[in-house]
Structure 1
Amino acid sequence: MTQITSPAVELRVLVYSHDAATRSRVISALGPRPHPDLPEVHYTEVATAAVVTRHMDAGGIGLAILDGEAAPTGGLGLAKQLRDELDPCPPILVLIGRADDRWLADWSRADAAVTHPIDPLRLREAVTALLSADR
Structure 2
Amino acid sequence: MPSTATVLVYSDDSNTREQVRLATGRRPASDVPEVRFVECATPQAVLKELDRGGIDVCVLDGEAVPEGGMGVCRQIKDEIFRCPPVLLLMGRPQDAWLATWSRAEAAVTLPIDPAEFADALAALLRSQLSVDA
Structure 2 residue 125 is matched with structure 1 residue 131: yes
Structure 2 residue 23 is matched with structure 1 residue 44: no
Q: Residue 63 of structure 1: CA displacement?
A: 0.5
Letter of the 1:33 counterpart = R
Counterpart-to-counterpart distance in 2, 1:99 and 1:87: 29
Q: Structure 1: state its 5+ residue gaps.
A: 1-5
Structure 2 residue 82 is matched with structure 1 residue 88: yes
Give the structure with the larger helix fraction.
Answer: 2
2:103 paired residue among 105, 109, 112: 109
Counterpart-to-counterpart distance in 1, 2:94 and 2:102: 14
Q: List structure 1 runs of 4+ shifted beyond 4 angstroms.
A: none
Counterpart-to-counterpart distance in 1, 2:93 and 2:47: 27
Q: Residue 51 of structure 1: CA displacement?
A: 0.4
Deviations 1:50-95 (A, max 9, x none): 0011001111000000000000010000000000011201011110
Helix, strand or coil for the counterpart of 1:28? helix
Counterpart-to-counterpart distance in 1, 2:115 and 2:57: 18
Q: Structure 2: state its 5+ residue gaps.
A: none
Correspondences of 1:28-43 after superposition (within 5 Å): 28-43=22-37
- TM-score, length of structure 2 as denominator length: 0.94
Structure 2 residue 47 is matched with structure 1 residue 53: yes
Counterpart-to-counterpart distance in 2, 1:65 and 1:104: 15
Letter of the 2:34 counterpart = E
Compute the RMSD of aligned alpha carbons. 0.9
- Structure 1 vs Structure 2: percent identity of aligned residues? 50
- TM-score, length of structure 1 as denominator length: 0.92
Query: Which range moves more in the overlay, 18-27 or 125-134?
Result: 125-134
2:9 paired residue among 7, 15, 20: 15
Q: Residue 133 of structure 1: CA displacement?
A: 2.3
